[in-house]
Amino acid sequence: MGRTSLGAKLAAVAATGVMALGTGVLAASPAQAVATYCPSGYACIYWGATEASGIRQSWKYAGVYKIYGYDGNHLIKNNQTDGWKIWLCHNTNGTDCDGVWPGQSVVLNMTPYNSVSIEP
């Protein structure tokens, strides 16, 4: 039979307690529904590269909106009506932009973008 030090045993007990606590906290949290459908008239950016990842942010009205922490690939859907475009902009003031046309869905690396401009 192998010998285990007291320190190793205490570390194992502590790790088990932390895992049990973490499980209890997660089990106590209520499940929250994540919106996956981008409604007509909206521009939507998802948490990830698929609709299943859920909508992170959506906009309905014209304007320039600063965005933060959009690293990596994200699905962008343009369900704007009346020919409105979504412009993904490198600058926070809505300039130096790439467009997503009405009815278009694209997956883009959002890391270089710092604002979104919605316009007719």
pTM of the model: 0.71
Please give the span between the terminal C-alpha atoms of the chain, in angstroms, as a whole number. Answer: 76
Provide the 8-state DSSP code for 92: T
> pLDDT at position 26, please?
38
> pLDDT at position 74, please?
98
| Tens-place pLDDT, residues 44-68 | 999 999 999 999 999 999 999 999 9
Pairing of strands 105-109, 97-100: unpaired
On average, the pLDDT of the chain sits at 81
Q: CA–CA separation, 53 vs 115, rounded Å?
A: 21
